[in-house]
Amino acid sequence: MGWKVAVDFVDICDGNRLCRAGEPFPRPGLAASEKRLAELAGSGNRVGCPLIIKDGENAPEKPKAAPRKRGVKKDA
């Protein structure tokens, strides 16, 4: 079973190539080490979320941003 790109990212180990969601990873003709696959499939990469998934899996949902707290103006 192979891997596919879950979210668009720039692969710094492939000449800063843009990898688009849905494409196979690594691109045909190249190989990636188990360490590199684990890095990109986990959250221990520069982006902090999984960038690739195994074929047949669904892409993880993007986390929703926490609501911002609005400051209360106080009279001086």
Residue 37 lies in a domain: yes
- pTM assigned to the model: 0.73
Residue 8 lies in a domain: yes
What pLDDT does residue 67 have? 47
Residue 66 lies in a domain: no
Q: How many domains are contained in the chain? A: 1
Residue 7 lies in a domain: yes
Q: Of all residues in the chain, what percent carry a pLDDT higher than 70?
A: 75
Residue with tokens 């899996």: 57
* Domain limits for position 49: 3-54
Give the tokens for residue 16: 């800063």
Note the pLDDT tens digit of each residue in 41-69: 999 999 999 999 998 877 666 544 444 55
For 50-69, give the secondary structure using H, E and C: CCEEECCCCCCCCCCCCCCC
Residue 70 lies in a domain: no
Residue 11 lies in a domain: yes
Which pairing describes strands 9-11 and 3-5: parallel, antiparallel, or unpaired? unpaired
**Phi, psi (rounded to 5 degrees) for 18:** -80, 120
